[in-house]
Structure 1
Amino acid sequence: MTDTLHRGYVSSPFGQLHYVECGTGEPVLMLHQTPRSWTEYLDVLPLVGATHRAIAMDTLGFGASAKPDGPHTIDRWADAADALIEELGLERFHLVGHHTGGVIAVELAARHQKRVASLFLSATPFIDEEKRRSAGQRKAVDHVVPQPDGSHLIELWNRRREFYELGEEAALNRFMIDALTVLDRVEEGHVAVRGSMMDQRLPQVTARTLAVCASGDHFSMPGLEKFADAGCETRVITGGHVPVPEQLPEEFSRHILDWVAAG
């Protein structure tokens, strides 16, 4: 179904931003985790695009979007997404964010408030003061040191291997491409998330908010209780791990469409 996908670029103060879209109707803007790209939603886009204008952008600094100098921050990523929203003329839209994309989506929903029809947060870490204090203690997730014999490629592959089932190597290949594209800055996305003020922005979100997590994603599962305490609805997607949009695209898309239709 990839022939139904259409690529495009918009201008922004940071350089060009790349996006892929499918379908027509009420817009659903999807934001990926780091260090990924729009391809995280490769199989989700046509499913959501069957009834909506499904859009997946490459976060500033990732994929085919501009890669400016300077530190990555949630605010700057949201500034870039703002530029795309305005250039595409999205007056009212739904937001979907996975992992890092969820933190960006919270910031956007806090900024745009009633323009955001609904907010769907997938495996989004709940960043609070405790998380910010412990930021310096976190272990590197994807950092590898390039080696002349290419052994760092195997090391990077193995760092993510446990998140994927046998037979899901195509999705893991897509991760590798995305990570290698930004290998010199591959950890900065995780650092930016830990430094965000998401917990202070969430109360300013007026859109209906659903937080979901794949049952196998033990990194993100503890956050569901905190989102529930913050007044969000929560659900567990049976099966899947960190890359659940690629592992269970039909189930993932169904949850999106059910939530979008609930308003």
Structure 2
Amino acid sequence: MTFRKGYVPSGFGQLHYVECGAGEPVLMLHQTPRSWTEYLDVLPLVGAAHRAIAMDTLGFGASAKPDDPHSIERFADAAQALVDALGLERFHLVGHHTGGVIAVELAARLQSRVASLLLSATPFIDEDKRRTAGERKPVDHVDPKPDGSHLLELWNRRRGFYADGEEAALTRFMVDALSVLDRVEEGHVAVRQYAMDQRLPYVTARTLAVCAPGDHYSLPALEKFADALGCETRVLSGGHVPLPEQLPGEFAKVVLAWAASA
């Protein structure tokens, strides 16, 4: 299936997206510090039945990179600008990790315009998480070294999430992370500062929260989302933090089934 790449203008600068297929739109939001390529193999599968769209979050990928501080609210501002520019009156919304946090804010704002919401490995941010945010170690930050050893350090930071044979996906992570290396940690910081628990009551879309069994960072959040939203939850058959790249077929089937049941 042929990908169509494009840009839309916004108050932040141009926002990049990739799409394929036709029909009811499905917008997919990626984790930090990735780009649309996190959904490289998912897009054509979802695009078989929908207009499948994956955007580059503001500040990442090929989207504009303004100097202002990142926040979930600003990420959502940009996502909303893209939704409006593409004329998506009603759409299904999918977010993975940081993308899921952005999806919560977008769904809280747009409410009935979001036909269904799928939160994949999305962290649950409450007062305790915000209070202890300063105690968390950096996730992807590395200090550049003259001998380039920081490249291996960054690779090894994420290597444990990928199985042998998944080096192409890890290489895509490296490309995305290196393109924002001076600000690579800011997306994670934005997540920890977000008042998610205060915004969840405004989410009206039918919601499904899923996670990979190996993603111990986000797996405990499933029960919290179920309690807060009364939503369904599901643990997929395998995978880790880069779930959409590791199990694109299963991930796409879940997206398609959830959209169809909305």
TM-score, length-normalised on structure 1? 0.99
After TM superposition, give the deviation of residue 203 of structure 1 in Å.
1.1
Equivalent residue for 2:199?
201
Cα offset for 1:240?
0.2
Cα deviation digits, residues 127-149 of structure 1 (max 9, x gap): 00010001000011101000011
Q: Please give the alpha-carbon distance, in whole angstroms, between the structure 2 residues aligned to 1:227 and 1:112.
A: 19
Letter in 1 for 2:241: V
Q: Which runs of 5+ in 1 are unaligned?
A: none
Aligned letter for 1:255? V
Matched residue type, 1:109: A
Question: What is the identity percentage for the equivalent residue pairs of Structure 1 and Structure 2?
Answer: 80
Q: Distance in 2 between matches of 1:131 and 1:94?
A: 28
Q: Where in structure 1 do 4 or more consecutive aligned residues deviate above 6 Å?
A: none
Tell me what 2:165 maps to.
Answer: 167
The aligned residue for residue 66 of structure 1 is 64
TM-aligned CA deviation for residue 159 of structure 1: 0.4
1:186 aligned residue:
184
For 2:51, which of 46, 50, 53 is the aligned residue? 53
Could you state the TM-score of these two structures normalised by the residue count of structure 2? 0.99
Alignment of structure 1 residues 221-240 onto 2, 5 Å: 221-230=219-228, 231-240=230-239
Does 2:83 match 1:85?
Answer: yes
Report the counterpart of residue 242 of structure 1 in structure 2.
241
| Alignment partners' CA distance in 1, 2:72 and 2:156 | 28
Give 2:236's aligned amino acid: I
How many matched pairs? 261
Partners of 1:106 and 1:220 in 2: CA distance: 15
Q: Partners of 2:227 and 2:87 in 1: how far apart? A: 34
- The alignment yields a C-alpha RMSD, in angstroms, of 0.5
* Paired residue secondary structure (1:105): helix
Give runs of aligned pairs for residues 1-263 of structure 1, distance below 5 A: 1=1, 4-230=2-228, 231-263=230-262
Partners of 2:151 and 2:67 in 1: CA distance: 25
Instruction: State the Cα distance separating 1:232 from its structure 2 match.
Output: 1.5
Deviation at 1:202, TM superposition (A): 1.0
1:52 offset after TM fit, Å?
Answer: 0.1
